[in-house]
Structure 1
Amino acid sequence: MNVDDYRAEIRRVIAGFVPCMPSWEEDGHLPRELFSALAAAGAFRERWALGPVAGLPLARVLVEELAEHNAGAALAVSLHSEVFLHALHRAGGHAEILEGALDGSVIGCAAVTEPGAGSDVPAVTTSARREGDQWRLTGTKCLITNAGRATHVLVLARTGDARSFGLFVVPLSGVTPTRFVPTLGVRSADTAVLDLDVTVPGTAVVGNPRAGLVQLLRVLDFERLAAAAGLVATARAAMALALAHMRDRTAFSARLFDHQVLRHRMAWHWARVSAVAALLDAAMKPGHGDEVSHSAVAAVKLVAASDCADAVDAALQAFGGRGYTEDFPLARMYRDVRLTRIGGGTDEMLCEVIAANLDTDDALSATLVRGIAERGGW
């Protein structure tokens, strides 16, 4: 299925759910039927038939089409596909769960964050201890998206010394969320706390039981790309609404669009969002070893979280008081985009990822700097 056909099919499925989406915000949970309907349309199977990087254009389409209507759905679906399903696909094995995730009978989420370990992922204290041919997982995970509707959770746990971590697939049939946490935005996708004290079979480990953190960091790059795609789609949708309003609304004897300060503001933000989209295109291309660049992915999410949120803010401003009401979708979009400066890697952590790539020797520049300094007697 090519990208255009895939987009048309995803758009058809989502259209059937759009009238119900306001109730998702009120209920605080997504319907499982959304995942099964997307799966029936081939959303996950088509994406993963192409592999992690080659399938990214389809992953982008899936998030773009959902984000315009409901950020919670876009987030939960991308976590299911780009984190949970991706981890299983990359590690191999788990054929039954993998097939269920592709056909929508299995819905996955991820449990990484803990009360004392957010961006500092290596600080997690949840442990996994071998007990014969089983693993016993104990600890507390928080800020888990869609745990109330997922059937399985991917858990990062310490399996030994300070550098040893594993990823585990845990059925949620025997684990009840301790509580659901009210959030500022993405209200349709529940956010849960899980207290874990469960035993799972030895086969529950995903890949190498000592290399789970490395596996997770590779997978999280794809979550960040999905987040950036959703931000661009949301910003463009918000700006399209604002521009329609500006062409229709009259103030001071002229359309809002005819006031230079207003149309130039929108032009500025449109240019910035277009630049983010171009950066996203570049970050999706494979680099060394057919992997995406860790620093390039960090860069696009960092810039998207700021510039796309600014564009949504400008769109709300264009609506004036109307934009601040819940009658228009701008208020929801404004709340929703704020999460991306925290979730999937905070701005500060992403800056560290980028900075690490900048601290490399550049002989030519170093020679130029030293030469200028010496000639000037510095």
Structure 2
Amino acid sequence: MADRRSPWMDEDLDQLRGLARTFLEKEVAPHQERFAQQKQVDRDLWRRAGDVGLLCLSVPEEYGGGGGTFAHEAVLIEEQARVGDSSWGNSVHSGIVAHYLLSYGTEEQKQRWLPKLASGEYVGAIAMSEPGAGSDLQGIRTKALRDGDDYVINGSKTFITNGGQADLVIVVAKTDPAEGAQGISLLVVEGEIRRGRVLDKVGLKGQDTAELFFDDVRVPAANLLGGQEGLGFVQLMQQLPQERLLIAVASVAGLERAVEVTTEYTKDRTAFGRELFKFQNTRFKLAECATEAAVTRAFVDDCVEKHLLGELDVPTAAMAKWWSTDRLCRVVDDCVQLFGGYGYMTEYPIARAWADARVQRIYGGTNEIMKEIIARSL
């Protein structure tokens, strides 16, 4: 089946794809086993990515970024999926953290932090989830109370992508606990951060997903994102559609890769004297998987085009997130079955893909929350 070219692609993005593919095949793919063992990528990977211009691709050049669009981030995500990597947390660093700073930071804050993210001097993370609050962001308990020229932060966070290496963390906290959602603000914490465990997960083994603790951490009032209290919840809601689209892009790319590697395997593997691919069940199952991939790609591409035009709404982003992650899990599970016992061995990419896929239906807002968002718009 011929490769489908996304309608939002252009010549500039083709060149970026070549650069991204070369970088990932050299700097990431050969080291995935080591990344998994150490539960994080090498810190120098961020610097090397910054040196070749792959960080903050959609941040304006005046702040050290690539001057591109969301499409540039999408190409890099697709190429990362193509090499089967789930260790490098660049989509959070460049596609989420940098855009909170770009969208809500004061000019001084943008000049101060974005060039460091773009160069790889800083690794970025955002600390939303807590031991007692995940999708329900209004239920967070971390507090940041004003004390003179500082805020004093107390609380704990968990499931923080890039948490083990982050130099800059956007912390979601209550600056006015009595005000509920209207009392939530975003504060930027730099430098020494007390970290707990790098969590031992079912998948994403090379990703430094960590616990963070804040015990009377003093942060200058100048680190309040946007310079005004109480805007955090609105800021989160405005950025979550892009986060969910990032997840959808990664999911459909992973889905396509699963179909590709499984098709190759079934054409090489023999059973009962013939190729697995020649059995009708195998061909029918792969036909279903390929169709799921094509339908999901068409929908996600449409969402990307809408986002590039500033027209992607919250319910449609939620649709893209739940649909693509659900299909990813379904198709990868079918592909594992076609691999037989080898599909359960972690030395095979399909086994790692299966383990990595499951969390996609949880983070960025659970798929059940996505359906609630969609239902409210009906």
Structure 1 and Structure 2 fold alike (TM over 0.5): yes
Match 2:120 to one of 65, 88, 104: 104
Structure 2 gaps of 5+ residues are: 1-10
1:202 equivalenced with 2:215 (yes/no): no
Contact 1:10-1:41 at 8 Å conserved across structures: no
| Secondary structure in 1 matching 2:86 | helix
| Secondary structure in 2 matching 1:349 | helix
Match 2:41 to one of 30, 33, 47: 30
The code of the aligned residue for 2:253 comes to A
Structure-2 residue corresponding to 1:303: 323
Please report how far the alpha carbon of residue 288 of structure 1 lies from its aligned counterpart in structure 2 after TM superposition: 11
1:58 equivalenced with 2:72 (yes/no): yes
Contact 1:30-1:146 at 8 Å conserved across structures: no
> 1:287, 1:105 → 2: CA distance?
29
Instruction: Rate the CA distance shift 1:125–1:52 in 2: closer, same or farther, 3 A.
Output: farther
The code of the aligned residue for 1:23 comes to R
Match 2:98 to one of 85, 94, 104: 85
Structure-2 residue corresponding to 1:43: 54
Please report how far the alpha carbon of residue 168 of structure 1 lies from its aligned counterpart in structure 2 after TM superposition: 1.0
- Which has the higher Rg, Structure 1 or Structure 2? 1
The code of the aligned residue for 1:65 comes to E
Structure-2 residue corresponding to 1:375: none
Match 1:6 to one of 16, 20, 25: 16
Structure-2 residue corresponding to 1:362: none
Please report how far the alpha carbon of residue 27 of structure 1 lies from its aligned counterpart in structure 2 after TM superposition: 0.9
With 47-56 and 143-152 compared, the bigger mean Cα shift is at 47-56
Please report how far the alpha carbon of residue 350 of structure 1 lies from its aligned counterpart in structure 2 after TM superposition: 0.6
The code of the aligned residue for 2:361 comes to R
The code of the aligned residue for 2:13 comes to V
Please report how far the alpha carbon of residue 296 of structure 1 lies from its aligned counterpart in structure 2 after TM superposition: 0.7
Identity of aligned residues (%): 31
Aligned length: 356
Report the TM-score, using the length of structure 1 for normalisation: 0.89
Contact 2:189-2:219 at 8 Å conserved across structures: yes
Structure-1 residue corresponding to 2:301: 281
Root-mean-square deviation (CA, aligned residues, Å) is 2.1
Structure-2 residue corresponding to 1:229: 249
Please report how far the alpha carbon of residue 87 of structure 1 lies from its aligned counterpart in structure 2 after TM superposition: 0.3
Q: Which runs of 4+ in 1 moved over 6 A?
A: 50-54
Contact 1:109-1:147 at 8 Å conserved across structures: yes
Listed one character per residue, the Cα deviations across residues 90-135 of structure 1 (whole Å, up to 9, x for unaligned) are: 1133112111111111110111001111110111111111111211
Please report how far the alpha carbon of residue 205 of structure 1 lies from its aligned counterpart in structure 2 after TM superposition: 1.1
Structure 1 gaps of 5+ residues are: 359-378
Please report how far the alpha carbon of residue 245 of structure 1 lies from its aligned counterpart in structure 2 after TM superposition: 1.3
Contact 1:29-1:188 at 8 Å conserved across structures: yes
| Secondary structure in 2 matching 1:141 | strand
1:74-223 → structure 2 map (5 Å cutoff): 74=88, 76-92=89-105, 93=107, 94=109, 95-160=111-176, 161-162=179-180, 163-171=182-190, 173-197=191-215, 198-207=217-226, 208-223=228-243
With 120-129 and 91-100 compared, the bigger mean Cα shift is at 91-100
> 1:107, 1:32 → 2: CA distance?
9
Please report how far the alpha carbon of residue 71 of structure 1 lies from its aligned counterpart in structure 2 after TM superposition: 4.3
> 1:314, 1:191 → 2: CA distance?
28
Instruction: Rate the CA distance shift 1:45–1:77 in 2: closer, same or farther, 3 A.
Output: closer
Instruction: Rate the CA distance shift 1:135–1:352 in 2: closer, same or farther, 3 A.
Output: same
The code of the aligned residue for 1:142 comes to T
